[in-house]
Each structure stands twice: as structure tokens, then as C-alpha cells.
């Protein structure tokens, strides 16, 4: 290999046009999905204290927000519902007139071409805050599966483009695919939260979605953070069961997992830049310790460089407004 002084790698970095020409990874607004929290009621826009700049919206205020998202060039949203009433079976998750089901119809009525992704889980809807049916203090995997299938089907019936099971029950993708196909929704995609870790980075989300477990934690079903090889087994299983796309969550502390999934599977790969990652940047920026307009694009670029095709992020609107991606 030729060395210095013939080889001068700084030549490629000398000017901005040269740096852009040699840039290896590109990130666009079209790669982003924006999460939204929907609440019961009317005329409500509730700021979430642990997630500065993020709010919960009632369904009637969605059209204005959705139109703004679409004008920014963001291609889709991920919907989370917060019902008024909760019970042990999470029945509002699969109610045909539930909060998410109505939100889907409202979004599609406002901007039909916007991609609607829906979170398929029970944690926001159960009185105990867990992602499945509780039997004798344990999360019963097999009793939970039919309810997840009903939830996904109700979302498809309301008009969702993509359903995203996030519960981490074994076999959930299989039953969701069977339910969708059995009802004629062959074109509804499944984005599986395939490698979802039991992470401390979820705490602001649980505040936002009012889904803090009332006992124990979620370590018996979400993945153990030290494990990366296990993530490949989870992804492989979900693909075998019918997932069209797979996800790693969280993103920033799991870039190695994103890279491992990208290297081993030729499927569309999403990564979720989660609430705790968002909140850390906002807190540091508020203290004047970081320039968020510099840091946020760098974080998102790192996730893209690790191998993600799609990034779900609470930063989507602001980076689109700033025009800092490329």
C-alpha cells in the first residue's frame, strides 16, 4: 500500500463539496418515522415533562399535527394509544372503537398517503402495565397471543399499513400473520420488534404512555442486554413466522446488534431511537453541555451507519425543520 507523502487522506476532507462527494453514509428525512401518543378526550395537547417538545394529542387535534408531519417530508408515524379505562386483559387494545383504531382512521382521513405504523402490545391497556395476560404473577405467553392477534387485526381493519408487535411473546408474529391473512389483509406488513431489550432507556416512554408495570419488571420476556447472539435467533424466528421488517430497540446502546442483524439478514431493518436517548440529549442541551443541532444528526447518522434502513425517532420533526440531514 502506498504511504505518506503520496497518500494524503486529508485530500478527501479538504472542502465541504469534496467531503460530500466522498460521503459513505447518507441520511434523509425519508428514512425517519415519528412516534405519536394519542389520548382520549378532546382539545388536548399534553406536554410530556420527561420528553421536552413531545406531547400527547387527542384524536381531534391529530389532523393539524399530521399535516405538519407530512409537509416536513416525514413518510410515516408510529401510533401509541393511551385509553381512558384499563383492565387486566387490555381489552381497549383490540376494541374496534379504541383510541388507536380511531386515530388510524383520522390520520388516513387527513393525509391518506402517510404511512401508519401501529404498536401492537397490551402494556398501555392493562391495569397491571405488563405486555400480556398475568396468571399467578407470571406473564402467560400462550394466553396473550390471541389478544395480540385481535389487536393487530383491529388495526388493519381501521386502515393501518404496518402493524408492529412489540410485546416479545414467543410466536406472536405467527399468530398475527395468520390473523391478517385469514381476514384478507394479505398486504398489511408486519414490522416485528424482533430484538427488544429490557432497557432502562425506556423510562420516559413509560411515563408518556402510562405503562409502568405495577409489579416486577419485563425481564422475563424482553431480551437480556448482555446478549447479542440471541438477537439473531429472535430475528431469524420472526422472519420465519412472517415478519416483513424487523427492528432493534433501543438503538444507541445497541449499535453492535444493529450491525449484526444487518450483516446476517437481508430484510428491511428499523432501529428505535428511544425516549431515554432523546431525553438525555435534551437534558444536556438545556444545561448548555451539548449543541443538539450538531449531536442529534450525529447520533442518527451513527444508527444509519450501523445498518438501519429506518429510524424511529422523536427527533424526526426537529431535524426535518432544521434541514441538517444529508
Annotated catalytic residues are 196, 249
CA dist 185 and 169 (Å) reads 22
Q: What DSSP designation does 91 have?
A: G
Which residues does 56 contact at the CB level (< 8 Å), separation at least 6?
37, 38, 39, 44, 45, 46, 48, 82, 208
Question: How many CB atoms lie under 10 A from the CB of residue 122?
Answer: 29
Q: b/e for 169-183, b at 16 or more Cβ within 10 A?
A: beebbbbbbebbeee
Q: Where are the alpha helices (DSSP H) in the chain?
A: 16-21, 62-71, 99-110, 141-158, 172-182, 203-208, 229-241, 255-264, 275-286, 292-306, 316-322
8-state DSSP, 171? T
User: CB–CB of 33/311 below 8 Å?
Assistant: yes
- Residues across the chain: 326
User: Distance between CA 123 and CA 43 in Å, rounded?
Assistant: 25
Task: Determine the Cα–Cα distance for residues 325 and 192; give it in Å rounded to an integer.
Answer: 27
Q: What span, in angstroms and rounded, lies between the C-alpha atoms of 6 and 296?
A: 36
C-alpha cell at 102: 380511531
Cell of 248: 432493534
CB atoms within 10 A of CB 280: 16
- Tell me the helix, strand and coil percentages in the chain, rounded to 5: 45, 20, 35
Amino acid at each position: 500500500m502506498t504511504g505518506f507523502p503520496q497518500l494524503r487522506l486529508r485530500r478527501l476532507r479538504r472542502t465541504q463539496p469534496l467531503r460530500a462527494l466522498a460521503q459513505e453514509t447518507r441520511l434523509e428525512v425519508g428514512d425517519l418515522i415519528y412516534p405519536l401518543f394519542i389520548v382520549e378526550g378532546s382539545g388536548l395537547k399534553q406536554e410530556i415533562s420527561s420528553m421536552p417538545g413531545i406531547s400527547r394529542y387527542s384524536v381531534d387535534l391529530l389532523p393539524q399535527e399530521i399535516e405538519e408531519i407530512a409537509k416536513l417530508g416525514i413518510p410515516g408515524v408510529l401510533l401509541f394509544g393511551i385509553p381512558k379505562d384499563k383492565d387486566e386483559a387490555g381489552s381497549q387494545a383490540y376494541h374496534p372503537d379504541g383510541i388507536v383504531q380511531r386515530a388510524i382512521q383520522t390520520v388516513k382521513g387527513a393525509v391518506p398517503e402517510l404511512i401508519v405504523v401501529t404498536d401492537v402490545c397490551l402494556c398501555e391497556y392493562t391495569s397491571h402495565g405488563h405486555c400480556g395476560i398475568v396468571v399467578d404473577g407470571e406473564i402467560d405467553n400462550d394466553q396473550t397471543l390471541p389478544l395480540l392477534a385481535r389487536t393487530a387485526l383491529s388495526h388493519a381493519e381501521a386502515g393501518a399499513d404496518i402493524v408492529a408487535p412489540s410485546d416479545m411473546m414467543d410466536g406472536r408474529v405467527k399468530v398475527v400473520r395468520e390473523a391478517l391473512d385469514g381476514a384478507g389483509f394479505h398486504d398489511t406488513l408486519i414490522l416485528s420488534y424482533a430484538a427488544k431489550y429490557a432497557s432502562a432507556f425506556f423510562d420516559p416512554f413509560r411515563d408518556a404512555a402510562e405503562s409502568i408495570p405495577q409489579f416486577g419488571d419485563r425481564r422475563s420476556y424482553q431480551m437480556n442486554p448482555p446478549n447479542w447472539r440471541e438477537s439473531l435467533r429472535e430475528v431469524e424466528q420472526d422472519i420465519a413466522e412472517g415478519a416483513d421488517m424487523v427492528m432493534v430497540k433501543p438503538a444507541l446502546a445497541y449499535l453492535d446488534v444493529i450491525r449484526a442483524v444487518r450483516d446476517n439478514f437481508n430484510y428491511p431493518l428499523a432501529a428505535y431511537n428511544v425516549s431515554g436517548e432523546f431525553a438525555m440529549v435534551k437534558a444536556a442541551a438545556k444545561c448548555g453541555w451539548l449543541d443538539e443541532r450538531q449531536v442529534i444528526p450525529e447520533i442518527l447518522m451513527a444508527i444509519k451507519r450501523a445498518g438501519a434502513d429506518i429510524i424511529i425517532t422523536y427527533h424526526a420533526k426537529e431535524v426535518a425543520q432544521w434541514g441538517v440531514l444529508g
